């Protein structure tokens, strides 16, 4: 397969079209952008009479397009259509140049469902709209529609509902694919009790904010990192402060951190749902990716969590280093056999900060991970699971997605609230982002905490 390295140039591109170039980046590594390249890929957009003219050009070809516009569309409608068209033109150009088709076509955002929701009322056949105007492959357009259907009746419309998120970015060891800010426990051990103190203060401020604003708490999520890296005593200081008698999830992602004592503290604190993540059912792969636990550890932690009566989520990753279709099929089969309430299938995403990425690995774009994910969609739906939330990341293998599946009635409300950006999320901890959603005005305000563990403590005066 031919690959290209271009310097990207834009000509008269209006500010609202700044991110159209993300379409080109989605073709990496077949097209790589570098300011040092002598070969230029140009995108131009010029207002013309009754429409907009575009061109896309590289040393081997040039294409021109004209988009007629209708005055009755209004400024916002026109902007959207111009941007969609520009992304579509750019996608078609890169598709012809490389011979590569991407499952989500010219869709580049984190939330593929956003376009679907926006199109309700304007298009009678939204699947067709996604396929024709965004070049989304039909199976992915159907997946998006299925997710939207699963969310029906679960989208929050109450402006006084808020969720609470607490971040505990600490893990026993660092997985080789991890790009989160999570710190290894051995590095921050002495600071952990101080961090717990700072969290308690911040949670207490959140409780005041909830009281003062008359919020009803819809869901609580304690994530990270691996919150269950903390010992029973520390969990016992934090979790009871978060018991609002509602859906309450704690990530216990690393099975080697799960003990009966910690599960008992969670149960007594009102936790309803835990996430225990094998990622793969191959011990060899687990060693390769630096997760200091075995498949047996996962089975032990999973059955303990079930004994305590929690709803359990199980995460798998498609495209882990050294894994082929058979490995993934085996892992998926093992996970489905347990019938967890939730099963999330991630496609490996290699971002800056991940050991694998720093070591020179580049994302897989050979269609192998797509084969795994296509199989997961089929297998999970035929096993009684429905996809209920989805998101995409940069540098994700084969340009795919992450999808959360649930058994009937077991969707995690927090995941829907967070992904669809319908609900205010009050957040505590290093790297946490509080998000105020003003649904009526279509506005979102974000307030970010310091990212690093030490910086967070410094700002908290600890």
CB of 430 to ligand SF4, least distance (A): 13
CB of 416 to ligand SF4, least distance (A): 21
CB of 225 to ligand SF4, least distance (A): 5
Select 254 or 273, whichever has its Cβ closest to ligand SF4. 254
Select 13 or 191, whichever has its Cβ closest to ligand SF4. 191
CB of 369 to ligand SF4, least distance (A): 17
Return the exposure string of 211-246: e unless at least 16 CB atoms fall within 10 Å of the residue's CB, then b.
Answer: eeeebebbbbbbbbbbbbbbbbebbbbbbebbebeb
Select 226 or 376, whichever has its Cβ closest to ligand SF4. 226
First to last CA, the chain: 55
Select 297 or 420, whichever has its Cβ closest to ligand SF4. 297
CB of 171 to ligand SF4, least distance (A): 3
Select 43 or 171, whichever has its Cβ closest to ligand SF4. 171
Q: What 3 state SS string does the chain have? A: CCCEEEEEEEECCCHHHHHHHHHHHCCCCCEEECCCCCCEEEEEEEEECCEEEEEEEECCEEEEEEEECCHHHHHHHHHHHHHHHHHHHHHHHHHHHHCCCCCCCCCCCCCHHHHHHHHCCCCCCHHHHHHHHHCCCHHHHHHHHHHHHHCCCCCCCCCCEEEEEEEECEECCCCCCCCCCCEEHHHHHHHHHHHHHHHHHHHHHHHHHHHHHCCEEEEEEEEECCHHHCCHHHHHHHHHHHCCCCEEEEECCCHHHCCHHHHHHHHHCCCCEEECCCECCCHHHHHHCCCCCCHHHHHHHHHHHHHCCCEEEEEEEECCCCCCHHHHHHHHHHHHHHCCCEEEEEECECCCCCHHHHCCCCCCCCCHHHHHHHHHHHHHHHCCCEEEEEECCCCEHHHCCEEEEECCCCCCHHHHHHHHCCCEEEEECCCCEEEEEEHHHCEEEEEECCCCHHHHHHHCCC
Select 144 or 178, whichever has its Cβ closest to ligand SF4. 178
CB of 260 to ligand SF4, least distance (A): 21
Residue at shortest CB range from ligand SF4 = 178
* CA-based nearest residue to 402, from 91, 24, 181, 110: 110
CB of 410 to ligand SF4, least distance (A): 23
CB of 169 to ligand SF4, least distance (A): 7
Select 84 or 449, whichever has its Cβ closest to ligand SF4. 449
Select 87 or 254, whichever has its Cβ closest to ligand SF4. 254
**CA–CA distance, 425 with 171 (Å, rounded to integer):** 24
Within 8 A by CB and 6+ apart from 338, the residues are 302, 314
CB of 234 to ligand SF4, least distance (A): 17
State the residues that interact with ligand SF4 by CB under 6 A: 171, 174-175, 178, 180, 182, 224-226, 253-254
Select 30 or 180, whichever has its Cβ closest to ligand SF4. 180
CB of 445 to ligand SF4, least distance (A): 27
**CA–CA distance, 193 with 165 (Å, rounded to integer):** 19
CB of 74 to ligand SF4, least distance (A): 44
């Amino acid at each position: 397969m031919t690959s290209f390295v271009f310097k990207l140039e834009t000509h008269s591109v209006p500010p609202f079209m700044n991110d159209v170039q993300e379409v080109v980046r989605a073709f990496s590594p077949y097209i790589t952008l570098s300011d040092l390249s002598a070969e230029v890929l140009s995108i131009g957009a010029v207002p013309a009479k009754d429409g907009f003219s575009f061109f896309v050009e590289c040393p081997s070809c040039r294409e021109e397009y004209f988009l007629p516009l209708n005055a009755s569309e209004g400024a916002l409608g026109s902007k959207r259509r111009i941007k969609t068209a520009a992304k579509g033109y750019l996608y078609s150009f890169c598709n012809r140049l490389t011979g590569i088709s991407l499952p989500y076509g010219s869709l580049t955002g984190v939330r593929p469902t956003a376009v679907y929701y926006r199109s309700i009322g304007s298009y009678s056949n939204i699947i067709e709209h996604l396929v024709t105007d965004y070049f989304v492959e039909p199976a992915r357009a159907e997946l998006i529609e299925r997710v939207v259907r699963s969310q029906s009746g679960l989208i929050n419309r109450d402006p006084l509902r808020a969720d609470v998120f607490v971040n505990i970015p600490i893990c026993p060891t660092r997985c080789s694919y991890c790009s989160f800010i999570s710190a290894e426990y051995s590095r921050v051990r002495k600071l952990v009790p101080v961090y717990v103190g700072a969290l308690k203060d911040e949670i207490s401020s959140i409780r005041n904010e909830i009281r003062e604003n008359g919020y009803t708490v819809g869901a609580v999520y304690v994530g990270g990192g691996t919150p269950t890296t903390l010992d029973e005593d520390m969990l016992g200081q934090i979790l009871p402060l978060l018991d609002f008698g509602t859906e309450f999830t704690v990530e216990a992602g690393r099975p080697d951190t799960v003990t009966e004592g910690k599960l008992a503290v969670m149960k007594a604190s009102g936790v309803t749902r835990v996430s225990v993540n094998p990622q793969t059912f191959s011990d060899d792969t687990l060693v390769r990716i630096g997760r200091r636990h075995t498949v047996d550890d996962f089975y032990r932690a999973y059955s303990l969590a079930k004994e305590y009566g929690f709803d359990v989520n199980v995460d798998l990753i498609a495209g882990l280093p050294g894994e082929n279709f058979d490995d993934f099929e085996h892992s998926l089969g093992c996970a489905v056999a347990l019938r967890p309430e939730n099963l999330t299938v991630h496609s490996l995403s290699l971002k800056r900060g991940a050991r694998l990425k720093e070591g020179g690995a580049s994302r897989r774009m050979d269609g192998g991970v797509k084969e795994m994910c296509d199989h997961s969609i089929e297998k999970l739906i035929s096993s009684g699971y429905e996809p209920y939330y989805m998101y995409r990341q940069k540098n994700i293998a084969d340009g795919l997605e992450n999808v959360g599946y649930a058994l009937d009635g077991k969707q995690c409300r927090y995941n829907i609230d967070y992904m669809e950006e319908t609900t205010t999320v009050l957040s505590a901890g290093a790297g946490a982002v509080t998000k105020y959603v003003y649904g009526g005005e279509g506005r979102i305000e974000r307030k970010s905490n310091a990212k690093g563990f030490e910086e967070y403590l410094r700002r908290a005066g600890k």
